[in-house]
Amino acid sequence: MILNYIWVSFFLLAFVVALLKLIFFQDFDVFPAMLNSTFDMAKTGFELSLYLTGVMSFWLGIMKIGEKSGVVNILARAFGPFFSRLFPSVPNDHPATGSIIMNFSANMLGLDNAATPLGLKAMKEMQELNTDKETASDAQIMFLALNTSGFTIIPIAIILDRSILGAANPTDIFIPTLLATAVSTLAAMFTVSLYQRINLFDRVFLSYLLGFSALIGGAVYYFMSLPQAALEQQSNLISSIIIVTIIISFLLLGLRKKLPLYETFVEGAKEGFEISIKIIPYLIAILVAIGMFRSSGTLNYVTDGIGFIVASFGFNTDFVEALPVALLKPLSGGAAKGMMVETVKTFGPDSFTGRLASILRGCTETTFYILAVYFGSVNIRKTRYALTVGLIADAVGVIAGIIVAYIFFH
C-alpha cells in the first residue's frame, strides 16, 4: 500500500539530507540526533500505547453497556438518515452506526481521549461488514477521511495554550479555526463522495447538514458573546457535562434493561485491551519514521522551498514562518504543538504569525497517525485512496486557514 512507500521515504529522505549536511556543512550532530530520535520516539510510542490501553479499556467497556442497553438503536433512529447517506454499506441498526456517531460527537467537542477509542471500535465493527479483510472498505475510507479532516467546534486546547503564552485575547482564533476545519471537512466529504459516487445533494442529507450548520452557528454566536474567561470555563464545563451525562445515561439504560453492568463493562474493556496491544507495532513504526524525518532537518528545507516558490510569484510570504506547524501536524500532534509554542514565543501571541500558527494547528489533523493506528487495529494492508483523501483534506484546511488568517488578522 502507499503507506509502505511513504514510511520508507521518511527514512531515505532523512538519510540523504543528513548525509548532505554532513558532507557540505560539516554538521557532525545530525546523525547522532537522528539516532537519538529513534529511541525517543520508540519510547514515546510505547508510552502512548500504555496510556491508550487504559482509555480504550474504559471507553469500550462503557460502549459495550451502551450497545447492549439499546443506545445504538436510539442513535440510529435519530441520525441514521444522515449517516446512511454517507455510509450506505452500514445498516442503520448495526453497532458501527452508534460508534461512528459517538466518535464524531467526541471529535466535534474536542474530546480526543474519548474519540480515539470510539473510532477504533467503529473500525472494528465496520471490519465485520468488510468482505475483503485486507482492503479498506468504502465505509472505512469515508470514516477515516472525516476523522482526518479534524472538524472541531471548540479548539479548547489551543485556546488554553494561547492563554498560557500571554495572548491578549486567546479566543480570537476561535472563529477562523472553526471556519477552516469546516471547509476541510466538507472537502473530505465531497472528495470521498466523488470516489464512491455518493449523492450529497439528497434532500434528507441537505436537511440534516443545514440543521447541523444552524446548531453550530448558534453555538458560535453564544460562545463569542461570552467574555474570554467565561468562554474557556464554559466550553470546558459544557464538554465535561456532556461526556459525563453520556456515561451516566448508558449506566441508567443498562439498569433499566437489568443488565449485569459490571460483567458487561469488563467484557468491553477486554476488547479495548486487545485492540491497544495490537496497535503498538504500527504506532511505534510511524513515530520512529517521523522522528528521524524531523531530526534530520528535512522539514526546514521543505518550508524554505515553499517560501522561495511563493516569493518568486510575487505573493506575500508572511505565512511561511507558521507553515512548519501545518507540515508537522499530519505527522505528529505533539510536534505540531511544540512548533506552535515555539512560533508564538518567537513572533508573539498576538502577531499575525503567532495567530496563524495557532489556526494551522487546529485546522489540520494527525493524518499518518490516524491511518496507521486505525487501519493497523483491524489489520488493513491496502488502504486504497484513504491517504490521498486525508492529505487533500489537510491541504484544503491549511489553505483555508491561511486565507481566513489574512482576512481576520493581516
Query: Which residues constitute the domain of residue 261?
Result: 2-409
What pLDDT shows up at residue 216?
73
What pLDDT shows up at residue 327?
85
pLDDT 10s digit of each residue in the chain, 410 long?
566 887 898 899 999 999 999 999 999 999 999 999 899 888 888 887 787 788 778 887 887 888 788 776 676 677 778 888 899 999 877 888 888 888 887 777 666 666 788 888 899 999 999 999 999 999 999 999 998 887 777 677 788 788 888 888 887 888 888 888 888 998 999 999 999 999 888 888 889 888 878 877 787 777 777 776 676 677 667 767 877 888 898 899 999 999 999 999 999 899 888 877 877 887 788 788 878 888 898 878 888 888 889 889 888 889 998 998 898 888 777 778 877 887 888 899 999 999 999 999 988 888 888 888 899 889 998 999 999 999 999 999 999 999 989 988 88
Look up the pTM and report it: 0.77
Quote the cell numbers at residue 109: 467537542
Task: Find out whether 166 and 349 touch, Cβ atoms under 8 Å.
Answer: yes
Long-range contacts from 43-52, C-beta under 8 angstroms, 24+ separation? 44/287, 44/334, 45/280, 45/283, 45/284, 45/287, 45/288, 46/280, 46/284, 48/283, 48/287, 49/276, 49/277, 49/279, 49/280, 49/283, 49/284, 52/116, 52/117, 52/276, 52/279
Task: Find out whether 140 and 380 touch, Cβ atoms under 8 Å.
Answer: yes
What pLDDT shows up at residue 230?
75
What pLDDT shows up at residue 399?
94
Task: Quote the number of domains for the chain.
Answer: 1
| Distance in angstroms (rounded) separating the CA atoms of residues 366 and 336 | 9
Q: How far is CA 363 from CA 101, 246, 257, 302, 353, in A?
A: 21, 27, 42, 20, 15
